[in-house]
Structure 1
Amino acid sequence: MTRVAIIGGGIGGLTAANALSQAGIEVAVYEAAAELREIGAGVALHANAMRVLRAIGVEDGVRKIAGRSEYAVTRNWKGRVISKTSRKQQAALFGLESATVHRADLLDVLADAVPEGVVTLGKRCVGVLPDGDVAVARFADGSEIEADIIVGADGIHSAVRASLFGPDAPRFTGKICYRSVIPAAAVPGMRPSSDNGQWLGPHGTIVLYPLRGEELINVVAHYDDDGYRHESWITECSRAEVLERYAGWHESLLRLFAGGDTWYKWALYDRDPIPQWTRGRVTLLGDAAHPMLPYLGQGACQALEDGAVLATALTAEAADPVTGLARYERTRRPRASRVVLTARERGLSNHLPSRWAALRRDLSIAVRRRLNRRDPEGRGAGWLASYDATSPDVLAA
Structure 2
Amino acid sequence: MAETLQAIKGMNDILPPESARWEWFEETVRKLMRRYGYQNIRTPIVEPTALFVRGLGEVTDIVEKEMYSFADSLNGDQLTLRPEGTAGVVRAINEHSFLYEGGKRLYYIGPMFRHERPQKGRYRQFHQVGAEVLGFSGPDVDAELILMTVALWQDLGLKVGEDVKLELNSLGQPDERRAHREALIKHLEAHADLLDEEARRRLHSNPLRILDTKNPAMQAVVEAAPKLMDFLGEASLAHFNAVRAVLGAAGVAYRVNTRLVRGMDYYNLTVFEWVTERLGSQGTVCGGGRYDGLIEQLGGKPAPAVGWGLGMERMLLLLQEVGIQAPVRTPDAFAVVMAGTPLAPVMVAIESLRRCGVTVQLNPAGKEGPASPKSQFKKADASGARFALVFGPDEVAQGQVSVKPLRDNGEQTQQSLQDIGAWAAMLQVGSPS
TM over 0.5: no
**Shorter-chain TM-score tier:** under 0.3
The TM-score with structure 1 as length reference comes to: 0.26
Structure showing the higher strand proportion among its residues: 1
Higher relative CO (Cα under 8 Å, sequence separation at least 6) belongs to 1
